[in-house]
Amino acid sequence: MSFSKLGVRTLALGYLALLLAAPVAMIFYRTFEHGIAPVWDAVSAPNAVRAFWLSIEIVAIAVPLNTAFGVGVALLLERGSFRGKALLGMLVDLPFAISPVVVGLALVLVYGKTGWFGDWLIGHGIQVIFSVPGMVLATAVVSLPFVVRETAPVLRELSTDAEQAAATLGAGAWQTFRRITLPAIRWGVVYGVVLTTARALGEFGAVSVVSGRIEGQTQTLPLYVQGQFENFNITGAYASAVVLALLALATLVAMNLLTRRTRRREAI
């Protein structure tokens, strides 16, 4: 019995090593192969820095929006009463089933030059596609479901007793929410925010379609990585990739610490 146990363990760990660990280790090795200096140069190149800050800017807008939306929807689903809860749930989950490229396309079809609102937007001097607002939209769509999915179960498990008690004591809806509900669900929300941020930072396909990938202007860091690769600037590509990988690892650490807090972990 222990022979096969060892065999199973080896098989599983071997698979993970070959698929996950080795490639990631490889990239770190390749990047720093020739020392830190070239990496630092690559990372501090002006377009790289611009790409980095653009990514941050987009995330800084999209994540709070999705968080507010997510908590609101979770409340609607678990505390509200109306028809069509199932439909709402499905709509929120829809981004999981749509390819990012298709998300980009769909946004272009609505907000692009020839899209449904194209004329109206141009008329009002608003540029969505090929500009930052479009990229924010794309990022928000692909990272939409996370806060809802992590907050709703926590809300569901939370009995309404405390909220009802607060109401009998005279608390208004917002007060009850802020003082009673929110503290109780905060770790679910935080976990959702971490996932949203990771997804938003790493978004590639949708933003690729929507941005026009203009270097120095509408390139996020992931787009920059691709750009560097296409220009055969491997060092540049690897260096930025490593930055993103480090951010991803930081996300992993955060996820891990939070999982212990929220004690329950469901598959995404």
Mention every residue, 6+ apart, whose C-beta is less than 8 A from residue 227. 213, 215, 219
Q: Which is nearer to other proteins, 184 or 245 (CB)?
A: 245
For residue 57, the minimal CB distance to other proteins (Å) is 17
For residue 208, the minimal CB distance to other proteins (Å) is 7
For residue 266, the minimal CB distance to other proteins (Å) is 6
Site for other proteins in 149-168 (CB under 8 A): 160, 163-164, 167-168
8 contacts other proteins (rule: CB under 8 A): yes
Site for other proteins in 38-77 (CB under 8 A): 65, 69, 72-73, 75-76
186 contacts other proteins (rule: CB under 8 A): no
Site for other proteins in 208-237 (CB under 8 A): 208-209, 222-223, 225-226, 229, 237
Site for other proteins in 105-144 (CB under 8 A): 105-110, 114-116, 137, 140-141, 144
Q: Which is nearer to other proteins, 18 or 60 (CB)?
A: 18
Residue in 56, 101, 122, 214 binding other proteins, rule: CB under 8 A = 101
- Residue found by looking up tokens 């820095």 in the block: 49
Q: Give me the numbers of helices (H) and strands (E) for the chain, helices first please.
A: 15, 0
Amino acid at the residue 104 = G
For residue 209, the minimal CB distance to other proteins (Å) is 6
Q: Which is nearer to other proteins, 48 or 209 (CB)?
A: 209
- Residue found by looking up tokens 């990496």 in the block: 39
Nearest to 233 by CA among 68, 64, 14, 47: 47
Per DSSP, 231 falls in state: T
Residue in 32, 38, 47, 79 binding other proteins, rule: CB under 8 A = 79
203 contacts other proteins (rule: CB under 8 A): yes
Listing DSSP states for 159-210 in one string gives -SHHHHHHHHTT--HHHHIIIIIHHHHHHHHHHHHHHHHHHHHH--HHHHHH
For the chain, the straight-line distance linking the first and the last C-alpha, in angstroms and rounded, comes to 33
130 SS3 class: coil
